Chains A and B, each alone.
Chain A
Amino acid sequence: MKKEAKISYSPRARAWEAFRQNRPAYYSLWVVGILAVIAISADFLAYNKPIIASYQGEIIWPIFRDYEEKWFGLKLWTPELRKADWRSLELEWAVWPPVRYAPEELDLRNAPAVSPFGEQIIRNAAERHYLGTDNLGRDLLSGLIHGTRISLTVGLVSMGISAIIGILLGALAGYFGDTSLQVSRATLWTGSIGVLLGLFYGFYLRRYALGEALGESFLAFLASLIESLLWFAGVVGICWLPSRILKKTRWGAHRVHLWVDLTISRIIEVMISLPTTLLIFTVAAVAKPSLFLVMAVIGLTSWTGIARFMRGEMLKVRSLDYIQAARALGYSDLRIMFLHALPNSLAPVLVSIAFGIASAILVESGLSFLGIGVPPTTVTWGSLLSAARSATNAWWLAIFPGMAIFIVVTLFNILGEGFRDAIDPRLQAR
């Protein structure tokens, strides 16, 4: 039995092995991978320009040229080619994406809502709307392909945000508890003053700059946020300096406990009693429509589950022998927490993240189904599905986008179940 010799007994390898045994979950991971490829290469699967074409003796890569224009702000197209409908140009030869329509492009000849099997006004068979069009004449398949990108981005970014917050707060609460984080009174006071002033200089004074960057683009917001964080760190640093002197006094040297766990647990309790979905809906309805804002709000309101899991895991891990050993070696708390304890407690968080992605995608589709929060020009699965409400005979608009949402949500739910079954030793024993 050669195969048995391969079985490793590290918990991680065992969990992975258990996960692979779980066929539906394992295949779901593959399908998610394929969807990710579709999302990344969406422009090469559905676009209104060819990938490569020969036009009037010149070889052009139109999609890449569009990328260059978009990313580097160049002006590369001649005016007539910029406006041209490439499908009607006389190309010597061309390699087209399988779907020859961009998602937001209105094909007015095939509007409103042409059935996939119905008669379509097209020049040749390759230009067919394979899944029909919506009430404005937008190609449904193209919208679905590009919608994959939006759905997966929403899932990943919002869960990324909530994972960072949840893991950090949960780890702090679990690792330190209420008694093991002690600081001198000097550090506590200078630190608190520093944080308050840091918030004032880093975020309050810069709130207009931050808000404008948020409306502009994700990268601009990131840059602005980093600037704010630098201000914050600088101010906290400066305020902390006098603590070195204050520590020498009797008052300042007194050590106090920080109630890390109590504070964070209270915050979690309050967060749980907020109706998060309603909050997301309200914020999305009041604010200017922006996909990033939707992701940020979902991320900021859904970290409690992760934080609770993380806290529980950390509580378990911190009493293990190897953590004691690390402490005995004199490692700093931060080093033990992030390098030794955290990696061992991450597995259950994965479960939360998988379920979280599923619900984030569901919330975003719900929002764009209602047409709030997401800019009206952005084509998403939810907005395509909502087109079915105004075109009451268009069964394809009701079935395909909903099917896409259903499949992705199911995949991530299966993944979450799979991770949980693989990690939970109680279930393995069954």
Chain B
Amino acid sequence: MGAYLLRRVIFFIPTLFLITLLSFIISQSAPGDPVEQMLSGRAGGGGEQLAERQANQRAYLEKRRELGLDLPIFYFSIAPLAEPETLHRIPQVTVQEALRRLVYKFGNWQAVESYYKAVRRLDSAFYASFADTHWKGNQTEVQALLTLLPQEKNYQEILYKLRQLEQRIIPSLMPFYKQVWNTVSAMPEEAQRWKVYVPTIHWYGTANQYHRWLMGLLRGDFGTSYQDKRPIAKKLADAVRWSLVINFISILLAYLIAIPLGVISAVRRGSLQDRFISISLFMLYSLPNFWVGTMAIMFLCGGDYLSIFPPGGVQSTEHSPEWPLLRRITDWTYHLILPVIVYTYGSLAFLSRQMRTALLENLQQDYVRTARAKGLSEKIVIWKHAFRNSLIPIITLLASVFPAMISGSVILETIFSIPGMGLLSYGAMIARDYPVIISVFTIGAVLTLVGILIADVLYAVVDPRITYTKR
């Protein structure tokens, strides 16, 4: 058993690796600049005075280094020959992306780089002459154009923006502007398109963003939330409690009710009871839980209709740890009854339908006939022989019920305002707090793997034929 468990855990490593990779890819494709998100938009552009702007830029670069965003993304990169392997050092993801697109178009990094440098020079010259009297109030427009220019991916758009700049710029900046214009017009002339079609591999080693992130993950450091700058690990620890409590209760309830229901309807197959149970379970199975949840909140919880249950939350507002335990538990129960019902009924229906099918299949087997022929009582035949064998598929389902509940809780916790992982990730989704979304996904995936592992172990407990050891 121990050896088998070890083997399973080892087998999970590639899957885990894949999950972290997937999470990382998703987080990389999240729009926006993480550093600006962290500094809440006061970096990058912004800041009218030169000194203030320089301070902001310094803060930006410092934060960037602190987050390790100046590192390459992965252990290695596959890129066209035209793309320089040091592109990741350029600050601002959007600028990086724009330059990469230009390189993909023209194939000549020297040309693109000199354009970028010319833009930077024009930029600093602009801020140095911010107080110039020749501006006639054009500064803000020029500032906006200069912020957008290096982020522009489309060559035609760059030309268009430059022409707009030309009309507004003051004479003293003209030489800088001319430089930019020259480098831009040089790009198509000096194009080396063949370089785009030569693939190269570059090895960066462990000093990369993925490695850093993964190591952080292993230490339990999930990064910081954009919203409140709190460590994500702390937020998760607060939230996971409620999700686990509700999921645990509801999985337990689902199994406790589903198994007898399934057995009754299999044993009395074709009877009125069976048909009633089957049809109502089928309906329950197809009933979207977020519909039931919405209706329950609307019709039963305060609102304009009945007011039997509290309108969401896990405890009443005056709830305090000083209350006697019994009172606290009653308060929690009162709040959790409705969510638990809505959580449970779907998996309950699914499980008992599976239980019924499995038991029916087993009741037709030869060994059941043998047991009956031996003269065993029907009770023993069903419970001791057929039932035990029918449990196997039900147990495997634990592996699929568990992840379903985790993802299902995103919707249900939102409806019932339960401060668990689901609500946390919903809040993050709305606020575009990507590090939190990715962390919830990673944790959810790991919990799923744990669910599968538990199912595997239970499998061996129920079925003595499965020993997992080499005979």
Contacts and interface: CB of A to CB of B under 8 A. Distances in A.
Interface of A: 197, 200-201, 204-205, 208, 269-270, 273-275, 277-279, 281-283, 285-288, 358, 362, 365-366, 369-372, 385-386, 388-389, 392-393, 395, 398-399, 402, 405-406, 409-410, 413-414, 417
A273 B15 contact: yes
Interface of B: 12, 14-15, 18-19, 22-23, 26-27, 29-31, 78, 80, 101, 104, 196-197, 199, 282-283, 285-288, 290-291, 294-295, 297-299, 303-305, 403-404, 406-408, 410-411, 414-415, 425-426, 428-430, 434, 437-438, 440-441, 444-445, 448-449, 452
Contacts of A406: 286-288, 291
B286 A358 contact: yes
A285 B78 contact: no
A402 B295 contact: yes
A269 B399 CA distance: 13
Given A200-B78, A285-B437, A370-B414, A392 B444 contact: no
Nearest to A429: B364
B298 A286 contact: no
Given A369-B411, A402-B295, A286 B26 contact: yes
Contact of A273 (B283, B414, B452): B452
B445 A275 contact: yes
A65 to B, nearest CB: 34
Contact of B407 (A204, A278, A389, A393): A278
Nearest to A358: B286
A328 to B, nearest CB: 38
Contacts of A393: 303-304
A205 B286 contact: no
Given A208-B101, A270-B15, A288 B31 contact: yes
Main secondary structure of the interface of B (DSSP, over half): helix
A287 B25 CA distance: 12
B339 to A, nearest CB: 15
Contacts of B428: 285
Contacts of A366: 288, 290, 411
A86 B285 CA distance: 44
Contacts of B287: 406
A274 B445 contact: yes
B196 A205 contact: yes
Contacts of A388: 294, 298
B263 to A, nearest CB: 18
A274 B196 contact: no
Contacts of B285: 413
B14 to A, nearest CB: 7
A201 B30 CA distance: 24
- Nearest 3 CB-CB pairings of A with B: A402-B291, A277-B407, A285-B429
Contact of A413 (B199, B282, B415): B282
Contact of B404 (A277, A283, A287, A399): A277
B104 A395 contact: no
A197 B294 CA distance: 51
A405 B292 CA distance: 12
A204 B104 CA distance: 11
Given A278-B444, A370-B429, A270 B14 contact: yes
A393 B452 CA distance: 43
Contacts of B78: 200, 204
A278 B403 contact: yes
A369 B404 CA distance: 17
B411 A398 contact: no
Given A208-B101, A405-B288, A275 B448 contact: yes
Nearest to B287: A406
Nearest to A208: B101
25 contacts: A205-B80, A205-B197, A273-B452, A274-B19, A275-B444, A275-B448, A277-B407, A278-B403, A281-B407, A282-B441, A286-B31, A358-B286, A362-B288, A369-B290, A370-B429, A386-B294, A392-B304, A393-B304, A398-B291, A405-B288, A406-B286, A406-B291, A410-B283, A410-B286, A413-B282
Contacts of A281: 407, 410, 425, 429
Q: Which of A197, A269, A277 has the most CB of B within 10 A?
A: A277
Given A204-B78, A370-B411, A370-B426, A273 B448 contact: yes
A205 B440 CA distance: 32
B441 A279 contact: yes
B448 A274 contact: yes
A358 B288 CA distance: 11
B437 A286 contact: yes
A275 B403 contact: yes
B294 A398 contact: yes
A389 B415 contact: yes
Contacts of A269: 15
Nearest to A269: B15
Contacts of A285: 425, 428-429, 437
Contacts of A409: 286, 288
Given A275-B448, A365-B288, A385-B290, A398 B414 contact: no
A398 B407 contact: no
A402 B12 CA distance: 39
Contacts of B415: 389
Nearest to A407: B286
A283 B441 CA distance: 10
A208 B437 CA distance: 25
Contacts of B290: 365-366, 369, 385
A273 B449 contact: yes
B446 to A, nearest CB: 10
Nearest to A402: B291
A418 to B, nearest CB: 12
B403 A279 contact: no
Nearest to B296: A398
Q: Which of B282, B294, B449 has the most CB of A within 10 A?
A: B294
Nearest to B283: A410
B437 A277 contact: no
A402 B444 contact: no
B394 to A, nearest CB: 18
Q: Which of A201, A278, A372, A413 has the most CB of B within 10 A?
A: A278
A270 B20 CA distance: 13
A402 to B, nearest CB: 3
